Every structure is written in C-alpha cells, then in structure tokens.
A and B are shown apart, each in its own frame.
Chain A
Amino acid sequence: MNKILIVGASSAIAEACARRWAQRGDMLFLAARGEAALKSIADDLKTRGANKVGHRVFDANAFDDHAALLREATAFMGGLDTVLIAHGTLTDQAKGQSDVAYALREVATNGTSVVSLMTLAGEQLAAQQRGTIAVISSVAGDRGRQSNYVYGSAKALVSAFASGQRQRLRKLGVNVMTIKPGFVDTPMTAAFKKGALWAKPDQVAKDIVGGIDAGRSIVYTPGFWRLIMLIIKHIPEFVFVKIAL
C-alpha cells in the first residue's frame, strides 16, 4: 500500500489517477481549491476501496502554506511515498501576452508554485531515501509556440527543474517523473473542438500510474506525443518563426 499526496486533486487527470490507486487500496491525501469537490471525490475514492482518504483545501499560490500541506499529509497517512503534482490553469494566451500581472500569476500557478512544492517534497523524500515525485508538465513546455507560450514557458520551467532534480535525487533512491500530456479531454478544455489527437483522462492516468510503478523518467501521454514533439523541437528556428503552431 502506498501513501500518496495529490495536489490539484480535483483535476480530471488527478482524479482518474486517484481512482486507479483507490482500487488497489492505497492511502490518499487530496489537496485542491474547492471543499465541496474534495469531499465528493474523497467519498468516491473511499467507496472504490481506498484504504484511507484525507483532504484539505489548498491554494497553490499561497506559497507559505506549502510546507504545512506536506506536514499534514504525512501526519495523516503516517508517511509519504508518492507526491503527484497536478494543479494548473489553462492560460488565456491572448490576455497573457499583453497583461503582465496576469502572465506572472499564470507562471506562478503553473510554474513557480510547482518548483516550491517539488523542492519541499524532494527534501523530505531524499531524507527517507525513497519515494516518487510525479509532476504534470506538458508537451507545451518542450518548445515555446505563439499559440500558448505563457503557459508553455511555465511548463518549461517545471520540465527543466524536474530534469535536474531527478539527476540529483535518483542516486538517493528517489524518482522524479515528468509527465507530458498532449491534448486531454477534460472540463479545462471543454470549449475546444476535439480531434483524433485528444485523449481521455483515464488513458493518461493509466500511463501515469504505470510510469510511477515502473520508475520511469519522462512519460509522454499518449506516447505518440514523444514523436510529435521530437519533430517540433527539431524544426530549425528560421523555419519555425515563419510557421503558425
């Protein structure tokens, strides 16, 4: 049985992961913004077989509260094996490219708040010399594109930070896994027209849960995004500046 903290537990991807963990009897501690959603998710996970489920209201941009969250989760579960960091917002690119305050707030929510949580969790897991930090970054962080570079740059921060932290902590017995979902059909993306590239949250959750079990480093989900991003990353800049992506 694993003791798992989920930050951003009301996101569709996080909830789908939590259901898989609940079915195998893991212990869970959920953090998210809304009390009502947390309560109904916790009831659902208990019914599905979770060993024990705790929850707590949490605002990722209240940086002072991060250490307290980790303390409470650890105390509730009597330990900590895995941290899934899944919170985030879908940035309005048109607004973010001209509104400084909004852009910085988005970078905080999707980028620096994640750095804060990973730092604290990394030190705790390193001290016990085992555990996993799984962090949801995005294919959008692989290369800044005009359609979503405010969000993408925050995710690039997360990917680079995770890469370095993984290198440092791997030899201490701690895995840091970077998750890069492509397009996922969730309430966050409800307004988008869906095509063949779109995945369901449960497919993504299957890759995440399996990736953590296998101790993987970087998980593109669905897997074909690794190839798509490989191509996008290797488009020469003089071509890239002329195309619309």
Chain B
Amino acid sequence: MPAQIFSSWGRVTPSLHEPLGLASRHQALPLPQVQSGVAATVLPYGNGRSYGDSNLNPGGALLLGRQLDRFISFDAATGVLSCEAGVLLEEIIKLALPQGWFLNVTPGTQYVTVGGAIANDVHGKNHHAVGSFGNHVLGFELLRSDGSRRWCSPDDEPALFAATIGGLGLTGLITWATVQLRRVANPLMDSETVKFRNLGEFFELSQASERDFEYTVSWIDCAFTGKRLGRGLFNRANHAPVVMDTGAVPKNLPSGVATGSLTVPITPPISLINTVSLKGFNTLYYNKQVPDAVRTLQHYRPFFYPLDALQQWNRIYGPKGFYQYQCVVPPAKAYSATQQLLETIARSGMGSFLAVLKQFGEPASRGLLSFPTPGTTLALDFPNTGPKLHRLFAELDRIVLDAGGRLYVGKDGRMSGAMFKAGYPRLNAFLPHVDPRFSSGWWRRVMEST
C-alpha cells in the first residue's frame, strides 16, 4: 500500500508511514520490504488515541491493528471475554453490559482498542481499588517478527507478559486477548461531586473517599494564581446497585449525548484554548455547582466518557496540535510537588481547562514499563505554542524528577531520554524483550537521546 500520513491524538507530528493491513489473526505478520540493506521497522497502530509519538513510527510501517476486530467468545456466567486486539472498549461494553458485565478498568475514552489498552496499561478513576487494565488481562497471544506465536499470561511466558503490558507495542503484535469483566447491576453510576477550595482539601477528600468509593477523580483549576489556585471539584462514585424502585431513576437521564453525535468538523486556524477563554471557562465551571456537594445518578457514558460526546475534540487546539502532560509523584512528596506543579503552570498561563488530579492506589502494576504507581497523578493539556512551552515542560520535569516521579509515555511527545530512564528503573529488564523489527518514533527518541 502507498505511504499515508498518520497522526496521533495530539496532532503535533503527522508523518508518513507504510500501512500494513491485517486481514486475519491467523495470517503471518506482514513486514515491510528491506530497502538498500536496511530493514524498516513496524509498530502496531490501534485507534490512534495515544497523544504523542509512542504510536507513530515515522519512515517505517504501521500494522493496522484496528482491522483485527472479531470477538472470539464471551461467557456470561463468568465474565471471561476473548476477542481480537483491535476490538474497541466501546464494542465490549455494548456486548457485555446488556448481559450484566462491565470493564474492570476503563480510561477516559471508550474509543481505544484492547491491544492499545494492554500496550499502555491504561488506568481509570478506580485505580486505587482495582489497579490498571493489565491487572485484569488473563492472557494474550503475541505474534513476533520471527514468526513465533507466544501465549503470554501470568503463568505462561511471565517475563514476556510483564514486558508486553505497558510495553508500547515494542514486543510484538498482540493478536487477541482474554480479559476478565466485572458484574454490574445496571448502566448507572451513583456519583457525588464535592467542591474543594485548595490542595489540602483535595488530599483530605481523597483519603476520606477511597474506602467507600470505587471511583474518584478531580478536576482542578490551573488558570489562576494566588488564593484560587488548587480549587476544584472532587468526584466520587460507585456503580449503582440494583434499583428496586424505578421511580428513583430520573426520567430524563441523559445518556445519548455522550455517544459522539457531535463532531468538531474542521480544524480552526488557531487554538480555541487560550488564557482568556480558559479563565472564563474555569470560573463558570467551578461556580456551575452552587452547593458544596451534589449527588446524582448518572448514565455510565457521561460519567466515564464526557469527552467522547464531542468527536474529534482534539481539533479545537488548532493546526499545531497539543501536548498532554501527565505525571505521577510518590506519596512522600505528593503534596509539595503537586503544589509546585500547579503554581508553575498557573504562572505560565499556558495550561488548559482539562486538569485532572487523582490518587493512584496500592495495587501493583504488572508491566515492566507500566505508568501507574502509588502517588498523585496530574494531567493537563497544553496547546502547542512552541519553544516557550518546552521551557515550561523542562521546569515541570525538574519538579517531577526531584519528587521521584515519572511521566506517562502514552501521553508523551517530548520527554528526554534521561527523564524516561530516571522514571522507569525496570527498563533494563524490558530491553531483552523488544522485538528487533519493532520500533516507534518515541522509542528511538528516548533511546537515542540522553
């Protein structure tokens, strides 16, 4: 197939790749031609939701993972689902929810593939309770460039299993996987939103909520310095229990809105996110809720996937695209490091309204390069404004490094090799498992730079 332009969700570095189709999970791994003695590399590309360059392989080939989209089996008695790696989480929910099952872990969008969820060991608002996606994977088949097919699970090929969870597609192609789902009584979430005025209140709320609420996450305001810094809304929730009295369910519960009926049709010439729009938005958003705490029954779609309601929302940042910065800092320095990060971002005036704060919990990640680890994670978007933004990122990196933290590779399009190596001490155990024909733009960047 002729080369095509592929971009990641952040749209900063669209680049040419040779696409390689995957007609069936049974077929041999397609590999690009060897040209002038150099063997081009491949990388699995799922639904393109990684933000930076970890899902791109400029100048090489991409395996179109989304084409492997068949279910294999589902046992409605045990919740064990087997499917090809290109099936979207959305499709799993559509299949399983009417039968009383839901994903154990879901990220903030349902438009990611199972293969991508494993390769990034994605996490959700319930990390403190159940860990990340890889903790619920029973096994998967890995197709390597030497033609071998390896069944990996905690018991079979455990080292390759640990390397592939969070392994960023570098250990081979995941063709299909078996995952454990969890029971739910209905599609509803029993959700409560509580205002907090500063970072101290956030940590108090987090601590007080973790035992009784499976899901916790906060929106935090990074637009203002001074007294308003660190104010936000703390959301905590559980799956709703069986509702005996159907009269208790609001009749006009919105559910259809978050299915993606709206689309950003074009890329505006400039980013619509700037200091002026941001301060206004954040003040409105914070004050939208008048009482200190509001409890509601919410459909799972607006609860888990508020941004999925607006297809192609990444276009609002304009033609230059955007970066997302997501870090985690260990508990010992979480408060002071988060405070410094927020102050630095607020002073810069460059952040966006999507600042998310969450406490990761104890469940250990299985992947050698998994991102989640106990501590506080902060994520927010930045319109790509060039060199001054990279200077801000360098400042943030220093705060994260000093606190012993790390950055999320699935969101990254710019971290240095040194930053990566400092954050991921198990890198040396990972290296022997990298498939020699697999690579990515991100991988070359961090391994070849210092």
Contact = CB atoms under 8 A, between A and B. Distances in A.
Given A190-B1, A191-B1, A193-B2, A47 B24 contact: no
Counting chain A CB atoms within 10 Å of each CB, the highest count among B2, B21, B71 belongs to: B71
A196 interface: no
Interface string A36-58: 11001101101111000000000
B72 interface: yes
Contacts of B21: 187, 190
Contacts of B25: 40
Contact of B70 (A40, A49, A190, A193): A40
A46 B74 CA distance: 9
Nearest to B27: A36
A44 B1 contact: no
B227 interface: no
B74 A47 contact: yes
B95 interface: yes
A: contact size bracket: 10 to 19
Contacts of A36: 24, 26
A44 B69 CA distance: 9
B23 interface: yes
Counting chain B CB atoms within 10 Å of each CB, the highest count among A47, A48, A187 belongs to: A47
Interface in A1-50: 36-37, 40-41, 43-44, 46-49
A230 to B, nearest CB: 29
B73 interface: yes
Contact of A41 (B67, B70, B74, B95): B70
At the interface, is chain A mostly helix, strand, loop or mixed? Answer: helix
A65 B26 CA distance: 27
B23 A40 contact: no
B23 A47 contact: no
Interface string B3-27: 0000000000000000001011110
B26 A47 contact: no
Interface in B62-84: 67, 70-74, 83
Contacts of A191: 1-2
B71 A48 contact: yes
A54 B382 CA distance: 53
Interface in A161-205: 187, 190-191, 193
Contacts of A37: 24
B78 to A, nearest CB: 14
Interface residues of B, number: 15
A47 B2 contact: no
A44 B23 contact: no
Contacts of B26: 36, 40
Contacts of B74: 47
Nearest to B21: A190
A47 B1 contact: no
Given A190-B1, A191-B1, A193-B2, A44 B24 contact: no
Contact of A43 (B2, B67, B73): B73
A222 to B, nearest CB: 18
A44 B2 contact: no
Contacts of A193: 2
Contacts of B72: 40, 43-44, 47
A131 to B, nearest CB: 28
B1 to A, nearest CB: 6
Contacts of A47: 71-74, 83, 95
Nearest to A44: B70
A36 B24 CA distance: 9
A36 B21 CA distance: 17
A15 B316 CA distance: 35
A47 B95 CA distance: 8
B86 to A, nearest CB: 12
Given A47-B71, A191-B1, A193-B2, A40 B95 contact: no
Counting chain A CB atoms within 10 Å of each CB, the highest count among B21, B70, B72, B73 belongs to: B70
Contacts of A40: 24-26, 70, 72
A204 to B, nearest CB: 16
Contacts of A48: 71, 95
A37 B67 CA distance: 13
B66 to A, nearest CB: 12
Nearest to A187: B23
Contacts of A43: 70-73
A40 B1 CA distance: 25
Nearest to B64: A190
A32 B72 CA distance: 19
Interface string B45-75: 0000000000000000000000100111110
Contacts of B1: 190-191
A114 B327 CA distance: 60
Contacts of A44: 70-72
Contacts of A190: 1, 21
Nearest to B83: A47
Contacts of B83: 47
A48 B72 CA distance: 9
A187 B21 CA distance: 8
A48 B26 CA distance: 20
A195 to B, nearest CB: 13
A36 B28 CA distance: 13
A47 B21 CA distance: 24
A230 B70 CA distance: 38
Nearest to A34: B24
A203 to B, nearest CB: 15
A43 B2 CA distance: 33
A26 to B, nearest CB: 16
B178 to A, nearest CB: 13
Nearest to B67: A187
A37 to B, nearest CB: 6
Contacts of B24: 36-37, 40
A47 to B, nearest CB: 4
Counting chain A CB atoms within 10 Å of each CB, the highest count among B2, B21, B23 belongs to: B23
6 contacts: A43-B70, A43-B71, A44-B71, A47-B72, A187-B23, A191-B2
Please provide the 3 A-B residue pairs with the shortest distance between their CB atoms, ordered closest to farther. Answer: A47-B71, A44-B70, A44-B71
Given A40-B24, A44-B71, 7 more contacts: A37-B24, A40-B70, A43-B70, A43-B71, A44-B70, A47-B83, A190-B1
